[in-house]
Structure 1
Amino acid sequence: MKLSIVVIFFNMRREAARTLYSLSHRYQRGVSVEDYEVIAIDNGSAQPLTPSEVLEFGGNFRYHFHATGSVSPVGAINLGAEMARGEALAVVVDGARMASPGLVWRTLEAWKLAREPFICARAWHLGPDVQFHSMQQGYDQAAEDALLEQIDWKNDGYRLFDVSTIAPSSRGHFPSECSWFAMARSTFVSMGGFDPRFQSPGGGFCNHEFRDRAVKWPGMRAILLLGEGLFHQVHGGVATNACPDEHPGKAFLREYERLCGRKYMTAPVPDPIFSRWTPILGRKIDRHTTTISR
């Protein structure tokens, strides 16, 4: 087992079906079920996923219901890391995010580029604009369902880029929040995992705080995958789908300042590796060349 992928779900059965399919060997290119496992953790949902809904995606899928009253995913993330068996650990904090078809294979390839890699991919919002804007213009789950059916994403997941907008947190030199990251499982444990003190809905800035600790960890080398990504579905998310005047960002910042003793500022990433691929014979071919730039 090379890679364990921990995905957290909370009250998102509609979105979970697409996310899990996008992580299955039916959709992911260049990998087999022996290469990776997917650990789906339901974080105390009122209408939780069932084991059968998860296990139908392959023998490398596992399901766990995390009985908790917490509205933060931090405990579930750390539990998933304890359950993981792979040398590498990938985390998807928000289970509403669908993956591009080469994300798993490209992560395993990037694993070879550094002794202590921290591998991230950019995040995108499905729809014509970032979702806290597009939702005000009528974009909803029904519109998203029609959009996804129109592009036949299951047969060519790279079409997701055609109907998405890059997330604000992914617009800079390196994402300020890694919706997908992978690293050595042993290093995740040595770092103490996610900080359990972050208890805001959705975890607040727990992901930002972990990302900043990771890029500053001794010997860590940040790697950004280009040409792959995660795509956020509308599901009433605490922050991603909140209207601007109702966004909890200020409360998240206050929690961060109280816990960390300083104002939040994104940690710079010195000399990251940018890994991109170029299809040899078109989109649907599984063989690619990889170009590394710094």
Structure 2
Amino acid sequence: MKFEPKRESSESIPRIRYQRDLPFQDIEVIVVDNGSSDPPTIEDLARPGLSVAVHRFCSPTVSPVAAMNFGLKQARGDIMAAMIDGARMASRGLVRAALAAVALHPRAVVASYNYHLGPKPQHESIKDGYTKAVEDALLASIDWPTGGGRLFEIACCGHCEGWPGPLIESNALFMRRDMWEELGYYETRFKSPGGGAANPDLFARACALPDAQLVKLIGEATFHQIHGGTIANMEKRDALKLLLLEYAKIRKRRLAPVEQPAWLYDSRTGTVTRQSGMK
């Protein structure tokens, strides 16, 4: 996804193993830049022992869909995950928890919840003076990145979402390769800025696959950073209108959260509970 953060020199970024308890030799990271004026480099992202590939998509557009599909098709592993939003941080145990959750069911659709850094969803908090400087101070207060497990302390749930209720999307979605291929990856007809409802559409289609089992993660999530982006920082009415109209045109129905009961996987205890219904 196109994302223009404030760049820091690679020497200033702590080279910790941010994701905990992972066999790096079994993990590959694929970064696809979709037209940033100052694209990331392999030197920015390299970590000892971790396989990292950086691609600059040759035909960038305002929608990240084509770039996402390109990146997914480069993956070699059996379990594949997608983060369509380049402005999101992950909690430190996200990948470990998701891999354990995928192992619970042969047709698992593993979803993390979506949080915004700050006291409110960012399209609201920026009206109250929430800025990058405020956000940087919040991150410093938890000693990020070392304190990445404390991101929940300085964040709130995304708009109209709240654990363990219905999700409209997941910004870190994990499935086995055959399910990604069965879906045909992201729907290429979503061409609006930021991809519009491409990510909610993918999530809904995944959950609707035959014998799919939705598994929601407890204790791990992704966290949106303020950056002046396409959807989160637009006026709510304008962003929703664009997103909903494109979705209705493509799918001939209204966009709605996924209401089906899920398994809840608690990464802190390794236990699974089953939702009997939704509130």
Q: TM-score, normalised by structure 2?
A: 0.90
Deviation of the 1:47 alpha carbon: 2.3
The one-letter amino acid paired with 1:123 is N
SS of the residue 2:217 aligns to: strand
Q: Which moved more, 1:170-179 or 1:30-39?
A: 170-179
Partner residue in 2 for 1:237 = 229
Give me the whole-angstrom Cα distance separating, in 1, the residues matched to 2:272 and 2:134. 38
SS at match of 1:229: strand
Paired residue for 1:59? 50
Match of 1:276 in 2: 266
- Pairing 1:133–2:124 present: yes
Deviations 1:100-119 (A, max 9, x none): 11101111111111011100
**Equivalent residue for 1:284?**
none
In the alignment, what sits opposite 1:33? Answer: 24
How far apart are residue 192 of structure 1 and its match? Answer: 0.8
Q: Which residue of 2 aligns with 1:95?
A: 86
Partner of 2:154: 163
| 1:195 alignment partner in structure 2 | 187
Report the equivalent of 1:265: 256
Amino acid of the residue matched to residue 220 of structure 1? A
Post-superposition offset of 1:243: 2.9
Between the aligned partners of 2:62 and 2:242, the Cα distance in structure 1 is: 14
Instruction: Choose 27-36 or 99-108, whichever is displaced more.
Output: 27-36
SS in 2 for 1:170: coil
Take 1:95 and 1:250, find their aligned partners in 2: how far apart are those partners?
A: 23
Aligned to 2:273: 293
3-state DSSP of counterpart to 1:168 = coil
Amino acid at match of 1:121: S
The answer as to whether partners of 1:40 and 1:54 remain within 8 angstroms in 2 is no
Cα 1:17–1:207 change in 2 (3 A) is farther
Q: Give TM-score, length-normalised by structure 1.
A: 0.86
| 2: CA distance, partners of 1:120 / 1:17 | 33
Measure the CA separation in 2 of the matches of 1:184 and 1:25.
Answer: 28
**CA root-mean-square deviation:** 2.2
C-alpha distance in 1 between matches for 2:89 and 2:9: 10
Amino acid at match of 1:291: T
Letter in 1 for 2:262: P
The letter for the 2-side match of 1:10 is K
Structure 1 position 277, deviation (Å): 3.1
Shift of 1:268: 2.6
Task: Decide whether the 8 Å contact of 2:31 with 2:53 is kept in 1.
Answer: yes
SS of the residue corresponding to residue 109 of structure 1 reads helix
Per the alignment, residue 215 of structure 2 pairs with 223
Letter in 2 for 1:118: V
Are 1:77 and 2:38 counterparts? no
Question: SS in structure 2 opposite 1:75?
Answer: helix
Contact 1:25/1:31 (<8 A) preserved: no
The percent of aligned pairs where both chains have the same amino acid is 35
Count of residue pairs the alignment pairs up: 271
d(CA) in 2 for partners of 1:213, 1:25 = 36
| Partner Cα distance (1:35, 1:213) in 2 | 28
Cα 1:183–1:45 change in 2 (3 A) is same
Bigger drift between 53-62 and 87-96 goes to: 53-62
Give the superposition deviation at 1:13: 3.6
CA contact (8 A) 1:10 1:44 kept: yes
| Structure 2 alignment gaps of length 5 or more | 275-279
CA offsets 1:135-169 (integer angstroms, 9 cap, x no match)? 11111111111221121022221211111011125
Which 10-residue stretch deviates more, 148-157 or 50-59?
A: 50-59
